Amino acid sequence: MASPLNRRLFLTGSVGAAAALGLAACGGTGGGEPEAAEVDASSFAEGSTMAALAEAGKITIGTKFDQPLFGLAGPDGEPVGFDVEIGKILAGALGIEAGNIEWVETVSANREPFIENGQVDLVVATYTINDTRKEVIDFAGPYYVAGQALMVLVDNEDITGEDSLAGKKVASVEGSTPAQYILDNHPDAELVNFDTYSNCVTALINGQVDVVTTDNVILAGFVESDPDNLKLVNDGETFTEEPYGVGLAKGDDDFRTFLNDTLEAAYEDGTWAEAWEGTAGAVLPTPDPPAVDRY
Ligand code: GLU
C-alpha cells in the first residue's frame, strides 16, 4: 500500500476554490481517512451546486460495488477502488471529507436515472462518455480511457477475439456500452444480459455462458481475483474506446467546469496518479491521464 498522501494545497484568487484540491486517500483499504481541502463555501458562486454541496458538507456519489480495482464494497460496506478515489478527490475539492461521502451503489442501467432524478450528485462508475447518454446527463472528464475486451474460462481455446463470437453465449450487462456493441456488431452472437458484472462472472464459471465482455480493466480485476478460473482473451486486446467520465445533472455547466478543473489539477499535482497507484495500479500499469473534454 502506498503511503497516505499528505499534501495540502491552499490556493487563493478567483479560481482558487476550483483548484483547491482535497487529498486523495491512500487507495484500497489500508489508508487513513483522507482530509479535505479547507474550502470556504462562500468562495463559490451563490446558488451554484458547488456552494450548496460545500455548505451541506456532504455529497452523494454513485459507484459500482462489485468491480475489483474500480469500485468494490469492502467488508465494512464502503467501496474501494480507483473510481472511489476519484470521487474523494472531487468531494475534497468541495471541502467534503471522505467520511462525509454517501456512496450509493449504481449498476450500469440505473446511472442516468439516478442522476436525472437527483438520487446522486455524481456518478463515478466506469461510466463511458457517449452522445446517447449526453442527451440526458452531462459528463466531466474523461479521467481514464478503457476499451472493450473479452474474458473466458482458463481452458477455453476457441474464443480468440471478437471474430469468434458467432453462436456463442456472450454475457454482458444491461444498459452498458459493451452490450450495445455486441448487439450492433455481432448479431450472430447470443447476448445474455445481467444486471452486474459479478453476475456475468458467476454465469461464466457455472458454464451458463461462453464469454464475458466489458471494459478490459473491469475484466482484469476479475481475472486478478480468480486467476485459476478466468483469463483475458488475447492478453486483454481491446476493440473499442471507453472514456470514463463523471456523470452529473444535465445543464449544470458551472459544476461541470469545476469538476473538469479539479480533475486537471489532480493530474498536475500527482493526486490522480496516487489514486491510480493505490488501487487499479496494483495490477495495471499507470497510464498518462487523458485530456479532459470541455464540450
Ligand atoms: N464503460 C462501459 C459503460 O459505461 C462498461 C462498464 C459499465 O457498464 O460500467 O457502459
- Nearest C-alpha neighbor of 153 from the set 207, 221, 194, 198: 207
Task: Specify the pTM.
Answer: 0.89
Statement: residue 72 has pLDDT above 80: yes
Given the CA of residue 244, which atom of ligand 1 is nearest to it? 1
217-243 pLDDT, tens digit each:
999 999 999 999 999 999 999 999 999
How far apart CA 223 and CA 159 sit, in angstroms, is 16
Measuring from atom 6 of ligand 1, which residue has the nearest CA?
Answer: 126
Determine the pLDDT at residue 42: 87
Spatial separation of the C-alpha atoms in residues 71 and 80, rounded to whole Å = 5
Residue labelled with grid coordinates 481514464: 144
CA dist list (Å): 81 to 164, 210, 221, 250, 271:
32, 28, 10, 26, 14
Statement: residue 6 has pLDDT above 80 = no
Q: What is the mean pLDDT of the chain?
A: 90
Residue 64 alpha carbon, nearest atom of ligand 1: 9
Instruction: Put the strands of the sheet holding 71-73 in their side by side order.
Output: 66-67, 71-73, 79-80
Q: Taking phi first (over 0 means left), then psi (-120 to 50 degrees means alpha), and beta for anything else, what does residue 69 get?
A: left
Rg, C-alpha atoms of the chain: 19
The amino acid sitting at 233 is V
Name the residue of 215, 222, 238, 246 to mutate for ligand 1: max ligand atoms within 8 A of Cβ. 215
Q: Which of 275, 289, 287, 273 is nearest to 81 (CA)?
A: 275
Supply the pLDDT for residue 34: 53
CA nearest ligand 1 atom 5, residue? 176
